[in-house]
Amino acid sequence: MILNIKNLHINYEVKNGYVSAVQDVNISLSENETLGLVGESGCGKSTLGKSLLKILPKNAKILGEISFKGQNIAQYNEKEMRKIRGKHISMIFQDPMTSLNPIMKVKDLFLETIKAHYPEIPEDEALEMSGKILSDVGIDPIRMNEYSFQFSGGMRQRVMIALSLVLKPEIVIADEPTTSLDVIVQAQIMEVLKKLKDEHKMSMVLITHDLGVVAELADRIGVMYAGHLVELSTAEKIYYEPKHPYTQALLKSIPNTNIDDRELRYIPGDLPNLVKPPKGCRFASRCPYAKEICHEKVPPDFEVDETRVKCWLYEKVKA
């Protein structure tokens, strides 16, 4: 087990209290595993992803354990985290335009990253490492002399992937890595990511609101709703035997391109207010199966047929 998250709570302090963005999440990640994290916007996916690098805004408070190779990094200070970021755990962000410094040449972005962790590596060797990873993502190393703003959106995302992987981290967190790109470029980028992940034998946390995107990549999928991890299972079970009513609704909301009218079925209702979250199940106000206890008590995690599901419907199966 490379990563083990236990009883993780993340709250954002705000004027009228705090936003309960992640509540009591328990999840682990194995070597070489790809874990998909899915859920609607605002479910806490990015908060959870960023907590693994401790790059959350200042008003965020982390409680619980984030154990990376046996060390609880939730307690690490900034100096200790700087040694982890990029070298052991790295992140591919949603929008490379804002995450890549536009006034630096691409080669300087690489040199900066490499030198931060390995100051002893000579520049020519660092440039060779950078050129190699750039060609792995399909970019001619000669373009290292250009600035990131000179690249197209898809190419910029490839630069970002190369930069995140140049130090061969054990874990890469990809947060909506293709959201801003068109469908064809999206598919190409995911292909590059999958190839490199396999070659480098990395573990990956792939965050997306789109269940379709994780379909081909993820080994297991965690479904988040309003800060709770409501279902966790293999990708196959999530697709073919979804247990939680929210997962079922999410799957139905995927547009089916085989259907002529391409009806998009949204889940009726809104996410609850996370400053005053409901007392019981956070999905209760939108759930067609809600019963009394759902409004009263947060459901525990039930193990059903190798799936972990946070829903009272499974109470009788096994507690």
* Binding footprint of ligand ATP, residue count (CB under 6 A): 16
Judged by the rule CB under 6 A, the positions of this chain that interact with ligand SF4 are 244-245, 281, 283-284, 287, 289-290, 294, 299, 311-313
CA distance 159 to 138: 9
Q: Which of residues 19-58 bind ligand ATP (CB under 6 A)?
A: 19, 21, 39, 41-47, 57
CB of 23 to ligand SF4, least distance (A): 14
Contact flag: residue 12 with ligand ATP (CB under 6 A): yes
CA distance 138 to 223: 32
The 8 Å CB, 24+ separation contacts for 151-156 are 151/106, 153/96, 153/97, 153/180, 153/181, 153/185, 154/181, 154/185, 154/188, 154/189, 156/96, 156/97, 156/100
Contact flag: residue 6 with ligand ATP (CB under 6 A): no
CB count in 10 Å sphere of residue 46? 19
Q: Would you say 252 and 246 are in contact if contact means Cβ atoms under 8 Å apart?
A: no
CB of 294 to ligand SF4, least distance (A): 3
Q: Would you say 231 and 238 are in contact if contact means Cβ atoms under 8 Å apart?
A: yes
CA distance 22 to 52: 13
Contact flag: residue 14 with ligand ATP (CB under 6 A): yes
Q: Would you say 227 and 278 are in contact if contact means Cβ atoms under 8 Å apart?
A: no
CB of 7 to ligand SF4, least distance (A): 20
CA distance 153 to 173: 19
Contact flag: residue 230 with ligand ATP (CB under 6 A): no
Q: Would you say 160 and 93 are in contact if contact means Cβ atoms under 8 Å apart?
A: yes
CB count in 10 Å sphere of residue 9? 15
What does 44 interact with, of ligand SF4, ligand ATP, none (CB < 5 to 8 A by kind)?
Answer: ligand ATP
Contact flag: residue 274 with ligand ATP (CB under 6 A): yes
Nearer to ligand SF4, 45 or 244 (CB): 244
CB of 224 to ligand ATP, least distance (A): 7
**Quick one: tokens of 251?**
């799957």
What does 96 interact with, of ligand SF4, ligand ATP, none (CB < 5 to 8 A by kind)?
Answer: none
Nearer to ligand SF4, 127 or 290 (CB): 290
What does 290 interact with, of ligand ATP, ligand SF4, none (CB < 5 to 8 A by kind)?
Answer: ligand SF4
Nearer to ligand ATP, 74 or 129 (CB): 74
52, 211, 200, 308 alpha-carbon torsion, rounded to 10°: 60
CB of 225 to ligand ATP, least distance (A): 10
Indicate the SS3 state at residue 26: strand
Nearer to ligand SF4, 223 or 313 (CB): 313
CB of 228 to ligand ATP, least distance (A): 12
Amino acid at 12: Y
Residues interacting with ligand ATP, by CB under 6 A?
Answer: 12, 14, 19, 21, 39, 41-47, 57, 59, 209, 274
